[in-house]
Structure 1
Amino acid sequence: MFEAEVKFVAGPDFRLPDEPGKAVVCEDVYFDAPDGRLAASGRELRLRREAGRTVLTAKAPPFDAATASKPEHETAVSDAEAVAALLGVLGFQPVLAYAKRCRRARLRVGGLDVELTAVTVDFDPRLFVEIEHLAATREQAMAALPAIRALAAGLGLAEECAVAYTDLAQAAGLGAPPAAP
């Protein structure tokens, strides 16, 4: 899938449209080879726990530099510890861990299904809002970006943030967790 996503910095009074669900915590652990080759090539390998569910995600390099939107492949896993051990056997180690608190709303805008996520993290005081659409092709994802920006403008969101949470976390001094999830 191609994730067309634009992240915005929102003011403290920003509210999601509709009635979002309760806040959930996403516990993310990122893995890389000891030489950092995944990050150096724009790829990510993430193990996420959220609401009793664990998902392994592999992200390819961005297809749109302005938004850092990336193709991604993910699958649910039933045993996070076993997956972390498998990644270790394959030569990947945990290099970064952090938690995101998220509130989500889903909308249909201009023929697109989009998800809006209001995000807070401990290592940055700002409120972020992610607006994303999952597309089957790169072309469909690129075509969704103007609709995402139009929706954002209608919600009063103007300040885009193309810096990844991983980069923000590393800039804040976060690093490898003491153990895999």
Structure 2
Amino acid sequence: MTIEAELKARVREPERLVTRLAAWAGAPGRVEVYRDVYFDRPGGELSAGGAELRVRTVTGEAGARTVLTYKGAAVRRVLRRLDVADADLTVELYTDAVTRARSRI
């Protein structure tokens, strides 16, 4: 069984955060542009059931790729949203979350 887990944080200083994450990763990140097109039935049955159907095109240095994705209703979904003003704290939170997630696999 797959469990999807996300940790989202609103970032007030994106440039500083990108610099800190590049230092943490030991390399600069890659820039990708996502274009999503979502589909549902006329009565909204997919979204009402917790599902989604989308076509995602990702464009980056390596070119473009397009993926059709259907996500069924999550059996268990862990989602955390934070509003963090400090880029250093954001990096620490993500690092801690990744470490904890890996220890459970």
Q: TM-score, normalised by structure 2?
A: 0.56
Matches within 5 A, 1:132-171: 150-151=96-97
Letter in 1 for 2:5: A
- Partner residue, 1:28: 36
1:46 counterpart (54, 67, 71):
54
Match of 2:9 in 1: 8
- Give the Cα–Cα distance (whole angstroms) in 2 for the partners of residues 43 and 5 of structure 1: 17
Q: Distance in 2 between matches of 1:4 and 1:21?
A: 21
Preserved CA contact (<8 Å) 1:6 1:149: no
Q: Percent identity?
A: 38
Report the equivalent of 1:104: none
- Counterpart-to-counterpart distance in 2, 1:32 and 1:148: 33
Q: 2:70 aligned to 36, 49, 58, which one? A: 58
Pairwise CA distance, 1:31: 0.6
The alignment's TM-score, normalised by the length of structure 1, stands at: 0.35
Equivalent residue pairs, number: 73
1:43·1:58 contact (CA, 8 Å) conserved in 2? yes
Segments of structure 2 that go 5 or more residues without pairing to the other structure are 81-92, 99-105
Decide whether aligned partners of structure 1 residues 49 and 37 sit closer, same or farther in structure 2, where only a CA change above 3 A counts: same
Q: Distance in 2 between matches of 1:8 and 1:21?
A: 18
For residues 22 and 149 of structure 1, do their structure 2 counterparts lie closer, same or farther at Cα, with a shift above 3 Å needed? Answer: closer
Q: Which has the higher helix share?
A: 2
Q: Counting strand residues as a fraction of each chain, which structure ranks higher? A: 1
- Cα drift, residue 150 of structure 1: 2.3
* Structure 1: gaps spanning 5 or more residues: 69-146, 153-181
Residue pairs, 1:75-114, within 5 angstroms = none
